[in-house]
Amino acid sequence: MDAADYQLHGKVAVIVFNNPPVNGLSFALRQAIVHYLQQANADANVQAIILTGSERAFSGGADVREFGTPLAFQEPILRSVIAAVEESPKPVIAAVDGVCLGGGFELALGAHFRVARATARVGLPEVNLGIIPGAGGTQRLPRAIGVERALDFLLSGQMVQAQTLADTSLFAEVVSDDLLPAAIDFAHKVIEEQPKIQRLSEVVLAPEQTLPLLQQRLQQVKQEFPHLPAQAQCVRAVQKGVEQGFDEGLKAERAYFLELLESAQSVALRYVFGAERAAARTPGVERDTAVWPITQVGLLGTGPAAGRLAQDFAAAGLTVHWVPNRSADLSVFSSCSLLVEASTGTNNERLQAFEAMRAARAQGQAGATLYLTSAAIPLDTLSAKIATEDAVLGLVPGPELFDGPLWEIRRVEHSHPEALATVLGLARKAGKKPVVGFDSQHTLGQLVFQSLVQAAQELVRLGVPALQIDNSLLQFGFKRGPLAAAKQLGLGLQAIGPDAFKADPALKDQDIIKACMAAMANQGAKLLEQNAAVRASDLDMACVLGFGLGRFIGGPMHYAQEQGLADMVACLKHYGAQGTPGAEVWKVAALIQKCAEQGGQWEK
């Protein structure tokens, strides 16, 4: 029972969760909770029971380390644990501090009373993973805070502080002092006053007051989230509980949960959840790698990247000294330990801008300097011009057109680990999502996006209307059609004749989608072959975070693997045989061919 501790405070038993870092509801912790509940109920001296976690977390929900293992579904599963809590003959109080999310919040809802620190954060984020709460969240929360407020909570997936819910019956007390002493005092009050145990499953909701609202919200979410079935199923689960009572609502919730768990959208969203975090980890950078102390940044340039980076660095808490061009006074750069070149012009002009920045910095106080460039200049060329204690990395924000949180970081094999750790840390502070690639003339996202545009152009040459191509990908879940986006970004498009806009489609929409996604995955395979990308999932994150692919798609590499790499290879060969002779976009990469033949999984 190491996953929890059992303490006695007079007549109060306290079960303290002990599964760092966020008390994930592992099999061991679930087992310990049930065991200690039984022990407390069997002890005649115990008259109230407290469940609590740590100051950091009551519980962050399911233990991700058990995802995909038999332990995730081994009894006692979470629903059984919550049933044991709710059915306890002695009052059970959940003392909530830190984060209380997903299954952790569902567990707290199963208690008879809840006491929370004002700053504790609660939430049911399951819709962000394409599923709905599966252990009673859609049934108990509406009975605690009302249907309308619960729907806002369930459909947003956002966390809120406990103090914002102090006006509801969710919490018996919201305290600002130390939580556990307050919870023990509340438990003694319950023992003395013996109020009726409050089981949320016994609360009856009035259908005549809530069903019209539920019907309205159902239609709303179907229109607002056409690619995300979890939102509609969430409303339906609440509706079932209102119409037919708690037990039927619980059955419906479980059925919807299991159905959604296998959906393509949920599989993709759960993949993105892990891939996004993996992208922030880069070879050579450890958790304890030191970061450089940076308070001031010098930014040179007037292009779109300069404007976005100025905002990003300000959001990270840095003082930004923004100078438009190298002919201006650069003396302010002498005090900056971070210098960013984001100018426009030819590579030679940008190289001169870099030299001007470096010369201005040389006039200041000694110390290591971190240089960042958004130019398509080999980093080794720039590294040769700086002192050995300095470092150069590439940094390009995602295109403003797609309004994503992407920071693409370019590095080389010998890039300074502390410099990388510093930029990754700044990304977190700025609310940006980093993807690290090895030095090339373009970023990973740009190269994969360009392959999409090239594939679209090749389809136009085969007689597919340009408008159909853009519309099919928009309906599939792209934020912008590739041909319209390429035009807005100023990419050089081949001349498209009037036949491209004819009304008769030459392909079905699903064939267009498949061809374009295959081309993107093929380009991703080429980048993996060149060791420009660390992982296949990093390529997906560049596309999802910066180039407008819906998270529920998962990215081209994920899509290709789910559809079947052999199918993707066949698709590429099909269009290669029909398209422009020598068109690079359809030339099958050796890696995708190899992976298709050896099990259908990406090697990286």
Q: Are residues 197 and 336 in the same domain?
A: no
Tell me if 288 is assigned to some domain.
Answer: no
Tell me if 277 is assigned to some domain.
Answer: no
Determine if residue 61 is left, alpha or beta; phi over 0 gives left, psi from -120 to 50 gives alpha, anything else beta.
left
Q: Are residues 79 and 225 in the same domain?
A: yes
106 in catalytic set: yes
Tell me if 291 is assigned to some domain.
Answer: no
- Whole-number pLDDT of residue 209: 84
Tell me if 197 is assigned to some domain.
Answer: yes
> What is the pLDDT averaged over residues 137-156?
95
Calpha distance 247→250 (Å, rounded): 5
Q: Are residues 415 and 453 in the same domain?
A: no
Q: Which residues contact 179 (CB under 8 A, 6 or more apart)?
A: 52, 55, 95, 96, 97, 115, 116, 117
Q: Are residues 401 and 478 in the same domain?
A: no
List 86, 106, 253, 458, catalytic entry: 106
Q: Are residues 461 and 430 in the same domain?
A: no
E strand spans, 12-71 = 12-17, 48-52, 57-59
Tell me if 285 is assigned to some domain.
Answer: no
Calpha distance 464→520 (Å, rounded): 18
- Asked if residue 340 lies in contact with residue 353, where contact means CB atoms within 8 angstroms, the answer is no
Distance of CA 406 to the CA centre of its chain: 12
- Whole-number pLDDT of residue 496: 54
List 103, 110, 550, 576, catalytic entry: 103
Tokens of residue 461, six digits: 């040459």
Give percent above pLDDT 90 in the chain: 78
Residue from 40, 34, 32, 35 nearest 11 by CA: 40
Tell me if 286 is assigned to some domain.
Answer: no
- Whole-number pLDDT of residue 68: 73
User: Residue 173: which domain range?
Assistant: 4-261
DSSP 203: P
Q: Which of 227-236, 386-395, 448-457 is predicted least confidently? A: 386-395
Position of tokens 């008259």? 47
- Whole-number pLDDT of residue 297: 95
> What is the pLDDT averaged over residues 18-31?
95
301 vs 303, more confident? 301
- Whole-number pLDDT of residue 121: 97
Query: Tell me: the pLDDT tens digits for 212-231?
Result: 999 999 999 999 999 999 99
Question: Quick check: 357 pLDDT over 80?
Answer: yes
**At which of 398, 416, 441 does a domain end?**
441
148 in catalytic set: no
Parallel/antiparallel/unpaired status of strands 370-373 and 296-300: unpaired
Query: Tell me: the pLDDT tens digits for 34-61?
Result: 999 999 999 999 999 999 999 999 999 9
Q: Are residues 147 and 240 in the same domain?
A: yes
Tell me if 602 is assigned to some domain.
Answer: no
Q: Are residues 196 and 316 in the same domain?
A: no
List 86, 126, 341, 408, catalytic entry: 126
**At which of 206, 239, 261 does a domain end?**
261
Q: How many domains does the chain have?
A: 3
Query: Tell me: the pLDDT tens digits for 559-579?
Result: 999 999 999 999 999 999 987
> What is the pLDDT averaged over residues 366-394?
87
> What is the pLDDT averaged over residues 426-436?
96
Q: Rg for the chain (alpha carbons), in Å?
A: 28
- Asked if residue 507 lies in contact with residue 519, where contact means CB atoms within 8 angstroms, the answer is no
CATH number at residue 479: 1.10.1040.50
Q: Are residues 87 and 114 in the same domain?
A: yes
66 in catalytic set: no
Please state, rounded to an integer, the average pLDDT across all residues of the chain: 92
- Whole-number pLDDT of residue 19: 94
- Asked if residue 510 lies in contact with residue 523, where contact means CB atoms within 8 angstroms, the answer is no
Q: Are residues 346 and 407 in the same domain?
A: yes
- Whole-number pLDDT of residue 504: 62
Q: Are residues 433 and 498 in the same domain?
A: no
Calpha distance 95→174 (Å, rounded): 10
**At which of 398, 418, 441 does a domain end?**
441
Position of tokens 């660390």? 534
126 in catalytic set: yes
Q: Write phi, then psi, for 160 (nearest 5 degrees).
A: -135, 155
Q: Are residues 429 and 513 in the same domain?
A: no
- Whole-number pLDDT of residue 389: 84
Tell me if 603 is assigned to some domain.
Answer: no
Parallel/antiparallel/unpaired status of strands 391-397 and 406-411: antiparallel
Amino acid identity of 261? L
Question: Quick check: 65 pLDDT over 90?
Answer: no
CATH number at residue 317: 3.40.50.720
What is the DSSP annotation of 366-396? -S--EEEE-SSS-HHHHHTTS-TT-EEEEEE
The three-class DSSP label of residue 100 is: strand
Q: How confident is the model at residue 386 (pLDDT cuts 50, 70, 90)?
A: confident
Query: Tell me: the pLDDT tens digits for 505-516?
Result: 578 999 999 999
Q: Are residues 390 and 493 in the same domain?
A: no
Query: Tell me: the pLDDT tens digits for 233-261?
Result: 999 999 999 999 999 999 999 999 999 99
Position of tokens 């809530």? 210
List 3, 13, 32, 62, catalytic entry: 62
- Whole-number pLDDT of residue 501: 45
> What is the pLDDT averaged over residues 357-376?
86
Question: Quick check: 502 pLDDT over 70?
Answer: no
Q: How confident is the model at residue 490 (pLDDT cuts 50, 70, 90)?
A: confident
